[in-house]
């Protein structure tokens, strides 16, 4: 049995947290490959080392005063070294980092040092081998992750290494420059390592006991999702459920490796298991609800639109021209509506409207802003009658006006458009009807 274990920033924010992590790793011999993040926040008011590194680099590379921030960063690692009684001295490392900052080694290089240094400490603490991610995780010259070259190299390197620590978040380009994934990217590194070693399980340790059925900022103490499929997760993460980086499922998905989200502060909790496919029935008809505010819709009307071949393509061409991606596009016989992110659309609003007029000559065009989209996701919906009926009657009871409905052909999700102001009420109504009343 081989497991890859990734620990997030809050799990490694202090010596105290490191000790919990050490206990977790030592409790199971199969936890052989460890991917650490940089030290995160120790409390709400604290700062993440990654953020400090960006600040420090920006100051140093522009000739500003950076020493104070650098001392703060050093202090974070010293606390861990002292608290764990490690025989490690990072002075040389920090001297090199300072030098490289002044010589403008790049913001990615700067941010990556958080994971790099934490990896060194973690390896020393566990007695595992340290492997610099720059030697095994590769990006092409355009900065895109090179999955196949990485997989080959990592598999080869790790084949004969029993136990290793590989820092998360970064890798390198062919010319040696450091490149990071987007924020939260250590999740992706863990997944890449799991794929390369054909792990039985990828454990992703964080500070919550798994994915929640709904956002805890909207629903008080929501239930935890026990099992979720990659596809369901993708729908929920896209709509804002943020426990795992949304790209982290792709490498393990190629190999059918499950991901288990676990809580470092409550290791007894089973967390959420993310799988390719499962016969396990979800506890409720729906697996989860997620949503986002800040959309707007462009409603287009034209008599006989249905008979005009190429109408839809021409409309979408206008959005494409301005680099605006569309989210949903429900249509009627003589109407078509395009949902877009308000922030992406605002700048080009008038040009898009003019473009649509020019290309398709609509009878009527109207914009509606401040809309929210809510995704109700669940593999169980396909086999259950009346799910949509229950959702809409719950919304009607909560006096929420539904602006748009879209059920994907996979029957895995129903997307509902409502006014931003109705967002919370809508989520509460849906949660209550499927979860609270079914408990
Ligand atoms: N330390 C990085 C961040 O704060 C990457 C990670 O934690 O996954 O985004």
- Per-residue pLDDT 10s for the chain (439 aa) are 999 999 999 999 999 999 999 999 999 999 999 999 999 999 999 999 999 999 999 999 999 999 999 999 999 999 999 999 999 999 999 999 999 999 999 999 999 999 999 999 999 999 999 999 999 999 999 999 999 999 999 999 999 999 999 999 999 999 999 999 999 999 999 999 999 999 999 999 999 999 999 999 999 999 999 999 998 998 888 887 778 998 899 999 989 999 999 999 999 999 999 999 888 877 888 999 999 999 999 999 999 988 889 999 999 999 999 999 999 998 888 999 999 999 999 999 999 999 999 999 999 999 999 999 999 999 888 878 888 899 999 999 999 999 999 887 777 899 999 999 999 999 999 999 999 887 6
Number of H helices and E strands in the chain, helices first, is: 14, 17
What's the Cα-to-Cα distance from 26 to each of 19, 34, 36, 266, 322, rounded to whole Å?
Answer: 10, 12, 16, 16, 53
> Of ligand 1's atoms, which has the minimum distance to the CA of residue 245?
8
Would you say the CB of residue 362 lies under 6 angstroms from ligand 1? no
Q: Which one, of 343, 338, 342, 372, lies nearest residue 240 by Cα? A: 372
Of the residues 46, 49, 57, 169, which should be mutated to test ligand 1's pocket, given the most ligand atoms within 8 Å of the CB? 169
Helix (H) or strand (E) holding 190: helix 186-196
- pLDDT at residue 391 in the model: 93
CA–CA distance, 293 with 370 (Å, rounded to integer): 7
> Of ligand 1's atoms, which has the minimum distance to the CA of residue 182?
9
CA of 50 from ligand 1 middle (Å) equals 7
> Of ligand 1's atoms, which has the minimum distance to the CA of residue 187?
8
CA of 183 from ligand 1 middle (Å) equals 5
Would you say the CB of residue 169 lies under 6 angstroms from ligand 1? yes
Chain position carrying tokens 């006991």: 209
Enumerate the β-bridge partners of residue 227.
273
Burial class (CB in 10 A: 0-12, 13-18, 19+), 353: middle
CA–CA distance, 1 with 420 (Å, rounded to integer): 48
Q: Which one, of 384, 432, 430, lies nearest residue 411 by Cα? A: 384
- pLDDT at residue 384 in the model: 81
Please state, as a whole number, how many other Cβ atoms lie within 10 Å of the Cβ of residue 317.
14
Of the residues 17, 50, 51, 118, which should be mutated to test ligand 1's pocket, given the most ligand atoms within 8 Å of the CB? 50
Burial class (CB in 10 A: 0-12, 13-18, 19+), 88: middle
CA of 388 from ligand 1 middle (Å) equals 38
Name every residue whose Cβ is closer than 8 Å to that of residue 37 and which is 6 or more positions away in sequence.
Answer: 6, 7, 8, 9, 11, 12, 114, 115, 118, 168, 169, 186
Name every residue whose Cβ is closer than 8 Å to that of residue 73 and which is 6 or more positions away in sequence.
Answer: 49, 52, 53, 56
Q: Which one, of 120, 139, 152, lies nearest residue 178 by Cα? A: 139
Helix (H) or strand (E) holding 428: helix 423-434
Would you say the CB of residue 167 lies under 6 angstroms from ligand 1? no
Q: For 268-335, where are the alpha helices, taking DSSP H only?
A: 311-321
Chain position carrying tokens 């494409």: 320
Would you say the CB of residue 38 lies under 6 angstroms from ligand 1? yes
- pLDDT at residue 31 in the model: 98
Exposure string over 388-420, b if 16+ CB within 10 A, otherwise e: eebbbebbeebebebbbebeeeeebbbbbbbbe
CA–CA distance, 32 with 260 (Å, rounded to integer): 16
Q: Are 153 and 138 in contact (CB under 8 A)?
A: yes
CA–CA distance, 167 with 108 (Å, rounded to integer): 14
- pLDDT at residue 439 in the model: 60
Q: Which one, of 312, 266, 287, 303, lies nearest residue 376 by Cα? A: 287
Q: Using CA positions, which residue lies closest to atom 8 of ligand 1? A: 184
Segment 127-130 long-range contacts (CB within 8 Å, at least 24 positions apart):
127/163, 128/34, 128/163, 128/164, 128/165, 129/161, 129/163, 129/164, 129/165, 130/164, 130/165
Q: Are 164 and 189 in contact (CB under 8 A)?
A: no
> Of ligand 1's atoms, which has the minimum distance to the CA of residue 186?
8
Q: Are 278 and 364 in contact (CB under 8 A)?
A: no
CA of 212 from ligand 1 middle (Å) equals 21
């Amino acid at each position: 049995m081989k497991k890859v274990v990734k620990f997030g920033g809050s799990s490694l924010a202090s010596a105290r947290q490191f000790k919990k992590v050490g206990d977790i790793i030592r409790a199971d011999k199969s936890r052989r490959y460890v991917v650490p993040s940089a030290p995160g926040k120790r409390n709400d008011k604290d700062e993440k080392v990654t953020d400090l590194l960006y600040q420090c680099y920006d100051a140093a590379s522009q000739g500003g005063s950076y020493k104070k921030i650098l001392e703060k960063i050093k202090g974070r690692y010293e606390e861990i070294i002292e608290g764990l009684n490690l025989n490690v001295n990072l002075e040389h490392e920090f001297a090199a980092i300072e030098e490289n900052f002044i010589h403008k080694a790049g913001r990615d290089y700067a941010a990556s040092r958080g994971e790099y240094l934490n990896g060194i400490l973690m390896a020393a603490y566990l007695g595992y081998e340290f492997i610099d991610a720059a030697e095994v995780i590769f990006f092409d010259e355009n900065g895109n992750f090179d999955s196949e070259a990485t997989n080959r190299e990592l598999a080869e390197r790790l084949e004969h290494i029993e136990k290793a620590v590989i820092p998360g978040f970064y890798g390198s380009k062919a010319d040696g420059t450091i490149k990071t994934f987007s924020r939260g990217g250590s999740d992706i590194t863990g997944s890449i390592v799991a794929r390369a070693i054909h792990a039985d399980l990828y454990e992703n340790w964080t500070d919550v006991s798994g994915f929640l059925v709904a956002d805890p900022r909207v629903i008080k103490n929501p239930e935890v999702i026990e099992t979720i499929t990659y596809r369901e997760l993708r729908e929920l993460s896209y709509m804002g459920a943020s426990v795992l980086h949304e790209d982290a499922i792709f490498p393990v998905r190629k190999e059918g490796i499950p991901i288990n989200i676990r809580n470092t502060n409550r290791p007894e909790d089973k967390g959420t298991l993310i799988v390719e496919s499962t016969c396990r029935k979800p506890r409720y008809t729906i697996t989860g609800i997620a949503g986002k505010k800040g959309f707007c819709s462009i409603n287009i009307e034209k008599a006989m639109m249905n008979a005009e071949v190429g109408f839809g393509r021409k409309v979408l061409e206008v959005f494409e021209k301005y680099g605006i991606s569309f989210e949903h596009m429900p249509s009627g016989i003589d109407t078509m509506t395009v949902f877009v992110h308000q922030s992406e659309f605002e700048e080009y609003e008038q040009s898009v409207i003019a473009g649509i007029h020019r290309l398709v000559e609509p009878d009527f065009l109207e914009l509606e802003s401040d809309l929210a989209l809510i995704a109700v996701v669940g593999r169980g919906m396909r086999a259950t009658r009346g799910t949509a009926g229950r959702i809409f009657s719950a919304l009607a009871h909560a006096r929420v006006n539904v602006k748009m409905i879209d059920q994907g052909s996979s029957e895995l999700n129903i997307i509902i458009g409502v006014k931003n102001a109705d967002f919370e009420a809508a989520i509460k109504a849906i949660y209550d009807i499927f979860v609270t009343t079914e408990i």
